[in-house]
Structure 1
Amino acid sequence: MPSIMLEFEKPIAELEAKIEELKNFSNEKGINLTEEISTMQAKAEALKKEIFGNLTPVQRVAIARHPERPGTLDYIKHMFEDFIELHGDRYFGDDRAVIGGIAKFQGLPVTVIGHAKGKDTKDNLARNFGMPNPEGNRKALRLMEQAEKFGRPVFTFVDTPGAHCGMGAEERGQALAIAQNLARLMKLRVPVVNTIIGEGGSGGALAIAVGDCLMMLENSVFSVISPESFASLLWKDPARSQEAVGVMKMTAYDLAELGIIDEVVPEPLGGAHKDHHEIAARLGGTLKKSLESLRKMSVEEMLQKRYEKFRGIGQFISG
């Protein structure tokens, strides 16, 4: 059960605490309060549906960044079998912000690549809070090309605030590493299915987010820059980051409406962090459906559709 509470969840928590008090009082005093407890439980459920059925973009960003939200390793655990992690870019080193390897999905050999933020302070530091260095993106590229060589479909899971922008990363060719991934993914001759599972930030996200089918979990976000950086750069005021979220159109439903993503995967009530098994089952079913559709196409048809998909993004008709 998630232990970290978001600000807008407090009314629900207060009501649930009262329900627990009533249950304890009923047990201690031997008084039958079943009817009263049922009434309050119904109120709590209605309140949850009201709050989570009308989330603002700012609230969705908070859920996307929730520390207990399932990450790539959680989805690998629940959806794939026989995962073998592969390390290193064969140039510089192994970036732990990017996880990749081979596994089985519904009995089919596949390649899995994704970002990893870490589950505690020590793990976050070791994984650089999910912000890949050039070697992380080059590792991803190596695994994509390996997948093409052996005819394995590629699944990617995006969850990063953005590519690491430290001096060392720039010196080792961060921009080039991202650009090479974008170019190579457009031509990869195997099915590529991308999912934004949390934060999809900037080039760090794009480096593994080009493919045949791009989907987002309901409370994930995808943007060219973080709201804090957007407000700092455009308005010279980082305090306006919440205002920036609405302007940026970075939620799953906004991007689906704009035609940038292909599908929104509904999350359990309260967010993916409330039930890892349930969200993995929902996403697994969606991935299976997408992969089955792609495998019916010839390679040439698949590549043409991929090309048309990205060429169509940002086109507007006026007059």
Structure 2
Amino acid sequence: MKFRAILLASATAVAFPAFAADPDLLVFDWAGFEDEGLLQSYIEKHGTGPTYAFFADDDEAYQKMASGFKADVAHPCSQMVSKYRDAGLIEPWDVNRIPEFGNIEQRFLNSSIFKDDTGVWYIPTDYAYTAIAYNKDEVPEADVSTLQVFTNPAYAGRVSLPDNTDDVWALALLATGVTDWTEVSDEQFQAAADWLRTAHENVRAYWADPSEMAQLMASGEVLVSWSWNDGVTLLREEGFPIGFQRTPSEGASNWFCGYVNFKDAPGSEDKAYDFINSWLDHRSAQGLLDGFGYAHSNNAAMAEIAPEALAEAFADPIEGTFLTQTPMNNEMRERMLEEFEKIKAGF
């Protein structure tokens, strides 16, 4: 269901709700997250899920909200929260109304952008890694022990990268020795941009959503991709010989996403809290794992899932070097956006 929904959302505008249910709560979200496995307590209480409008990427979502689109809550990834705060679009959550708040992994709240003396502005919910997906029948494990596989001439025309500024820059920075993107020098930026230009020469296609990446790999067009968990999950379900290297020598990218609460929202504030409490319900951790291959921010809920089940979905904890996609300087992110567009255009 998730992947069909992603394709639909990628091909349609988001000016209207794409999935209509409870009219008192409009959730602006990534396609697929209307999954009932995440909404059990909400549905039990209200008889149906919220109404959804979908976006294809974080930048599109922010631009839509900044242009006047109205929703009650939205699901940005961590690096975007500062833009919503700076624009005055969101308000703090009342964590006294969120019983599971104390069980959220604290490293996901370790930023004054998410939590400060004015309140809690962000509720982290889901996380995983961007790492190397590869065809195990055709790509030796030794080749994917390093991120330099993306610039390896042996894979010219057989590589796919996400059409996503944050993920491609996380890759390029890691590949050039940077693990903290909150402090990137001009020299580091240029080294990463040069690396991306080299990798671009190997790229067959930039994937817009996990289903597109999975199709490219299943067809044999692509042998190596910088991927999220869900594309790998889909390929495994189809019996494809997929490997997922989360510990290359240079490191992997750790991302996390969650929900913000909009000011002057059109719907029910009470139902917004019912929604976030449904997400943090222990049952939702299993729903998230089954539907997406992602890990849940609620440590108590995660502790109820067998370690072998987490490992099977590549959602188990790993050790190594990570670039965690925490908020960065907005000027730097705009610079990355502009440079990435030039690279894709061949400049």
TM-score above 0.5: no
The alignment's TM-score, normalised by the length of structure 2, stands at 0.27
More helix by share: 1
Q: Using CA pairs under 8 Å that are at least 6 residues apart, name the structure with larger relative contact order, 1 or 2.
A: 2
- TM-score between both structures, scaled by the size of structure 1: 0.29
Higher-Rg member (1/2): 1
